[in-house]
Every structure is written in C-alpha cells, then in structure tokens.
Structure 1
Amino acid sequence: MSINVHSHAFAGNPLLSKFSFSGHPLPPSAALEALNARIGLPNTHSYPSLSFKVLPFRNGRPLASSEASSGDSPPIWHLGWLGLDDLRVIFDNSGAQLSVDSLVYLNSSAEDDAVYWAIDVSAEVIELGSKTGLRFVELRTLMVATDWSDLQAMGNLAIAGHAKALLEWHNVSRFCGHCGEKTVPMEAGRRKQCPNGSCKKRIYPRVDPVVIMLVIDRENDRALLAKRPMRLHRLYTCLSGFTEPGESLEEAVRRETWEETRVEVGEVVYHSSQPWPVGPSGIPCQLMVGFFAYAKSLEITVDKKELEGALTSLMLSGTVEKK
C-alpha cells in the first residue's frame, strides 16, 4: 500500500521560506524600528519604501473575505490584510488605542517591499466600517474551503496559521512562569522577557508535538479510523494524541492507540509533519507528526471518554471504503 500526500495544511509558509527583504528577511529590531517610525515615534529610523500589512484576529479567527467561484465550487477565500493607516483609522473610530506592543512581526517580503504583522483585537470593540465583505472566520473553515492545489492559497493559509499560533502564545504567556511577573514583548513579539531584575527569564514559543497515525491491518489491507465527540456528524479520522514528558513519538503512537481502542501496535513508520495551529488554545504552537502504525492485534474496544466510535475501512487504490 502506498499513500502520497502532496500538500499539508499550514505548511510551506512563504514568509518563512522564500520571501526576503533585499535578499535577507528584515530583522525584528529593524522591523520594529520601521513600525515605530511609521506610527510617529521620534528618534527612529524610517524605511519610506516599505508598506505595512496587518492581519487582525478575533478569538483566534483571522479576518478574511470571500468571492463566489464558478460552478459548484466553494467560495474563494482571501486573507483580510489591512494597511497600517487603515488599521489606525479603525482603532481611532472605535475609540481604542493602537499599541506597538500589540503587533507581532511575521516577516518581510522583497517581492512587494512589505512588512507583515498580526494583531489580536479580541479585547477591542473594533468596527470595520466601510471594509465590507470582511469578517472573522474560523481557521478550520478556511482550511476546508481552500483549494489545496492552489499554492498561493495554501501559502496564505500557512501564514494565517503561523500568525494564530504566535498570537495565542502571547495570550498564554502573559506572566513569567518562574516569578509571576508580567512579561513584556521583545524582538517585535518574537519572544518575551521577564522584567524582574532578579529573574530576567527569556521566554520563547514552545512547540508541542502531536502524533497522528493511520493504524493499518496489513493482512487484510484495512485501516482503523475513529470519531471523536463534538466533531462533525459521520466524520471519522485517524487516531491522534499528545506526547507525554519523557516519551518518544513512537511510544506515543503505541500508547494513544492502545488507550483509545485497545489495539496493540508494533512497527511505527514516520510519514511527514505539519504545523497544527487549530488545536486547543492553551497549547498554541503544535507540530503534528504523522505515522503509519501497523497493528499487532485486531480487536477494538473503544474508550468512550475519548471516542464516540471506531471502524475499520478497506484501503482500495488510495481510497477508503467503509466496511
């Protein structure tokens, strides 16, 4: 059996790979200086040729717009990038104050001399006014609606995922875990610093690995799928779970499969990985690591606390047929 996946959701972020500013990404310190100069703070170096693009989020949802597509295809989504001047006008009209520290630097692009930022407006009463067609959309909705063969659309999805992860990390790291002091953003939001002189802890986003596995019955060419509570009706997916401290990824695959279905797994084979910024908000920076897992036992006993049900499916020419 051979399974090929050409695209991963939230992977291939163009701002982290091929885009650059004059051959190199604009360092966070320079990006922050350019932002301060544009907002009007004194004694800062200006970058007059740069444009600023900001992606607002509300409760983990990016601003986006859609346009009708031809035929029966779903709508085409676009991220709702705002210019810095537009963002300032929206804040002023809403009686809110735009703070430099609330903006998180994503990266820069040489292709359009643009500096990209994200901002969380969940705590602000922001009215978009004349910005018709824009609304805050669940990231999973954008993932499902995106044409995965469109590289530009997939790149935008990856940018939105990266921005969401950084903003949610800021929300859950407001205080130093060592002394309890309120943290301050540094390096244009790329890290945080404890201001306590006796502590001074540097805090960076931490990536938490999540394993996801296609459990396979080799002899009968079947795969094990499961349905989780509170998900879409009749939606069955691969098993998945978090790694425990002191546990390898392969051990996590075997443990999670056993705990949820009482199926024993032997050989575990790595497939690929992808960012996963749509998991629990308390764990914002997740890396999903995919595996093939080969079953040693075939009897299924579902853990009802974790799953609503499980089934085995025939694997036929790369498709899945329920059995």
Structure 2
Amino acid sequence: MVKRAAMLSVSLFFSSSSSHLLFLSKTLTKRTCFSSLATMSINLNAHAFAGNPIRSKTLKAHDPLSPSSAFQSLKTHLLQNPETTSLPPPPKSPLFKVLPFRKGRPLASSSITGNNDDDVPSWHLGWISLPDCKYFLGKCGMDLTEDSLVYLGSKIEDDVVYWAVDVSGESRLVPELGSKQFCFVELRTLMVATDWSDSIAMGELAIAGHARALLEWHNLSRFCGHCGEKTIPKEAGRRKQCSNESCKKRIYPRVDPVVIMLVIDRENDRALLGRQSRFVPRMWSCLAGFIEPGESLEEAVRRETYEEAGIEVGEVVYHSSQPWPVGPSSIPCQLMVGFFAFAKSLEINVDKEELEDAQWHSREDVRKALAVAEYKKAQKTTAAKVDQMCKGVEKGQSLSADFNVESGELAPMFFPGPFAIAHHLISTWANQDVPTDGVKAGSKQPSSSILNL
C-alpha cells in the first residue's frame, strides 16, 4: 500500500462549523462547566472554502449566464480590439470579471476601512475586467484566448460572469499589476488572514479556493490518461475531453477524499492528538489520512488511526466536511470528511514514518490551550502582512509567534485555527460532553442518540 499521509498538509488547517454537531450531554453534572470558554467553539456560517456565493447553478443552456451562453459571448468579446478598453459589450451580454492566478496564487488587493489607528486591513480578490486583462497580457506579449479562461460562476442579480485565468508563464505581469497595488498571494496566507466572522470575506476565500482547484486540475490533465493525446477544454473549462477522435474520453475535475478524526477514549476524558515533523513547535492536531479504493469512510478512520497510532477504533460518528484546495498542486482539491472516533484500546504505538508523536490529552489541558491561543491575533497579523505585500513591502512573520498567552509566555500547546475542521472537532469535544453510553469496546451506539442533525 502506497502511503500518502505524509503529503497531508491538510492536518494543519481544516474548517467546519461546530453548530453542525449538537450533543445530548448526559454527564455534564459530573464535570466542571467552563462557560467562559464557550466562545472558543466558534460558529461559522459556512466552512472555509465552502459557501461559494458565485458557485455555478444549473442554468438552462439559453440563459445568458450559463457556461455555454457566457462562453459564446466571451468569444465575441475577445474579437474586440485589445488596444481599446472602452468598447461597449455586445448587446444583451453580461459583464465579465477575471481573476488571474500565478503559480496557484490568486491576485489580491488590500484596503483599510475607517480612520482609527487600530483598524485591521482586509484583503479582496483582484478582479479585473476582461478588456483590462487583455490589455495587461497584451503588454507582456501574451494572447488571451477563450480556452485559457475557466468559468467560475455568476451573479444573476448583477448580470456578472466570473472567470479565472492562469498567467504563471508571464512574470512581467507581477510588476505591471504591482504598480496598481495588486499582488499574487498564497491561498493559505489568505486563508489565515480571513476574518471568519465576515461572510463576504469567507465568500471570497471560497471563490479563490474553487478557482485554484480548477486551474490546478487543468494543469494536471493536459493529456488523456487513456491514449496520451492532448485534451481540450469543454463546457467553458468545467471539463476536458481527449482530442483523439477515436478516444474522446471525458475528463472531470478531480476530488480526493480524506478522513480527519478526533479519537476519544472510553471515558470521554481524553482525546488523541498527533504531531507531524513539519508542524510548527507546540502544534497538535487530529489524525488524518486519504481514503483507499474499496473502503468506506468508517473503515478509513479505523485503518488510519491504527496505522498511525496503533489505536483500535470502534464507533465512528460523522461531524462535517470541507473542500480543501490548499494542499500540494498534485492534489488539486481534497475533501475533508470529519469524524469523532471512539477508541477501543489506549496503548499508543506511533508509526514514526507517519507521525513524530501522538499522545492522549486531557479535556482540561485542551480547554486551557484553547483559552490562551490568540487566533484573532494571528488573523490580524497575517492580514497586515497581506496589506504590506500588496503595497510592495513584505515582512516575515512566524506563525508560532502569534499564539502566546497574555503574559507573553509561550502557550504549552495550540491547535489549528477556526478556519480548520480540526479546530472545531477539538473545541466541540473540549467544551461539550460527548455521551459515551453504549460506546464501549465492540458496542454500537445509534447515531441518532448522539447527533441531532
């Protein structure tokens, strides 16, 4: 079996809404109530990278905002003179906006609203008009064709269609757009810089994630895996097809499912957390792993937990899922599927090729770590960094330096931030009791008695 868990940057940062999981607490009376920590279980309107506001809906082919109609209108636009940026669009044509990407990084800008010295900057996607996109690329000697643009979605109320384009091959665009205070920023950096309480910002993050996943998939699927011939975009870039007339294989965007699980002991007092060697100091997170062909999600949870930590798992309870487009470019979009898993054994046997360490952590220690970790500080610091980058001045910042306690001392441990499903798995368990009645070795507890979905 070829192990891919080492490729999982995903175990650091996942996202979810803890409101998806409502536990029937039967043992709260025997535990101390930490009401002051309730805010640490942050409720999100949508998971990071989910809730895309322009996600393509099923439109009729004749609808002007549908992929096929918009693509035909796009070709008409591209026939206009690239030196002229003020020509009116064709009759009854929607407005086109384009989001350039360079090496997986979306174009972004930054602004500060208000006049207070402590106002935090916020980033925005660097949408440019189709004529401006042609103009900038033309100055760099690059032609913009309809096949280079990928349909992202539309806003019917604004009569706007959104596209993405990969401009990785043209480095001269960087100073050209930089002069307009635009910058190509790592998607992971934008993720940390996003104010998770801002629904508009979360929506822009979801759009950027969707676009990056599609563009990375296009770069990976340039040739047919069946006959080796070149592939050509179809349906405005939403799928590809082999150019070989005797083959014509249809190729669709790829999704790689991954399970991520918080393993809980029989007494519901401790949770199993792991560390990978690439983690920053003091970072702990949930275990995670790719699903193998021919196994169920529950089987993947049990297999990965046993392979990585030597712990046998019985009952597996679903929590939530999240698209994850910030992994390596060879895996364009992972789908994180989150679970609570109840351990049948306690003795840890760490696979050092998978993990650096794995330990049981008490609920009290986890609560303390959640209480002192300054996630908002990390978000504000990263937002300021993006602002500096867009202004042409980049300053380095260590992520681990953003998780100090109020006294300035380093927290003993911390977990992924609120943009991460790992955070919500951990904080939900820490601040609410998971009922364990019937969840003993070899037993089966009905999901309906644990979850109120």
What is the TM-score with the length of structure 1 in the denominator?
Answer: 0.90
Change (3 A) 1:57 1:245: same
Structure 1 range deviating more: 126-135 or 196-205:
126-135
- Equivalent residue for 2:107, pick from 56, 63, 86: 63
Cα contact 1:253–1:293 (8 A) shared by 2: yes
Change (3 A) 1:288 1:220: closer
Q: What residue is the counterpart of 2:269 in the other structure?
A: 221
- Equivalent residue for 1:114, pick from 160, 165, 171: 160
Residue 182 of structure 2 is aligned to residue 134 of structure 1: yes
The Cα of 1:66 is off from its aligned counterpart by 2.1
Structure 1 range deviating more: 218-227 or 165-174:
218-227
Q: Percent identity?
A: 64
Cα contact 2:64–2:70 (8 A) shared by 1: no
SS of 1:14's equivalent? coil
SS of 2:48's equivalent? coil
Q: What residue is the counterpart of 1:32 in the other structure?
A: 71
* Higher-helix-fraction structure: 2
Looking at structure 2, the residues matched to 25 and 307 of structure 1 have their Cα atoms a distance apart, in angstroms, of 51
Q: What residue is the counterpart of 1:54 in the other structure?
A: 98
Residue 170 of structure 2 is aligned to residue 124 of structure 1: yes
What pairs up with 1:1-323 in 2 under 5 angstroms? 2=23, 5-6=43-44, 7-16=46-55, 26-40=65-79, 46-68=90-112, 75-128=121-174, 129=176, 131-316=179-364, 319=367, 321=369
Cα contact 1:64–1:79 (8 A) shared by 2: yes
Cα contact 2:166–2:215 (8 A) shared by 1: yes
Change (3 A) 1:201 1:49: closer
The Cα of 1:132 is off from its aligned counterpart by 2.7
Change (3 A) 1:58 1:306: same
The Cα of 1:99 is off from its aligned counterpart by 1.9
Cα contact 2:109–2:123 (8 A) shared by 1: yes
Offset from partner CA, 1:134-162 (integer Å, 9 cap, x none): 11111111111111111111111111110
Return the index of the structure with the highest Cα Rg: 2
Cα contact 1:25–1:108 (8 A) shared by 2: no
Offset from partner CA, 1:4-51 (integer Å, 9 cap, x none): 753411010111278989xx782211111111111117xxx9455521
The Cα of 1:317 is off from its aligned counterpart by 11
Cα contact 1:313–1:320 (8 A) shared by 2: no
Change (3 A) 1:121 1:202: same
* Higher-strand-fraction structure: 1
The Cα of 1:305 is off from its aligned counterpart by 1.5
Unaligned runs of 5+ in 2: 1-21, 24-40, 81-88, 370-411, 414-453
Structure 1 range deviating more: 252-261 or 70-79:
70-79
Change (3 A) 1:170 1:274: same
For 1:50, give the aligned amino acid.
P
The Cα of 1:268 is off from its aligned counterpart by 0.5
Change (3 A) 1:178 1:48: same
The Cα of 1:310 is off from its aligned counterpart by 2.3
For 1:311, give the aligned amino acid.
Q
Cα contact 1:55–1:81 (8 A) shared by 2: yes
Unaligned runs of 5+ in 1: none
Looking at structure 2, the residues matched to 77 and 283 of structure 1 have their Cα atoms a distance apart, in angstroms, of 26
Change (3 A) 1:111 1:231: farther
Looking at structure 1, the residues matched to 248 and 282 of structure 2 have their Cα atoms a distance apart, in angstroms, of 50
Cα contact 2:99–2:126 (8 A) shared by 1: yes
Cα contact 1:64–1:137 (8 A) shared by 2: yes
What count of residue pairs does the alignment treat as equivalent?
319
Change (3 A) 1:46 1:319: farther
Bigger relative CO (Cα 8 Å, ≥ 6 apart): 2
Structure 1 range deviating more: 276-285 or 189-198:
276-285
Looking at structure 1, the residues matched to 149 and 280 of structure 2 have their Cα atoms a distance apart, in angstroms, of 34
Change (3 A) 1:133 1:221: farther
Change (3 A) 1:17 1:84: closer
The Cα of 1:314 is off from its aligned counterpart by 2.7
The Cα of 1:259 is off from its aligned counterpart by 1.1
Structure 1 range deviating more: 60-69 or 81-90:
60-69
Cα contact 2:48–2:206 (8 A) shared by 1: yes
The Cα of 1:303 is off from its aligned counterpart by 1.8
Looking at structure 2, the residues matched to 306 and 177 of structure 1 have their Cα atoms a distance apart, in angstroms, of 30
RMSD, matched Cα: 2.7
Cα contact 1:74–1:145 (8 A) shared by 2: no
SS of 1:38's equivalent? helix
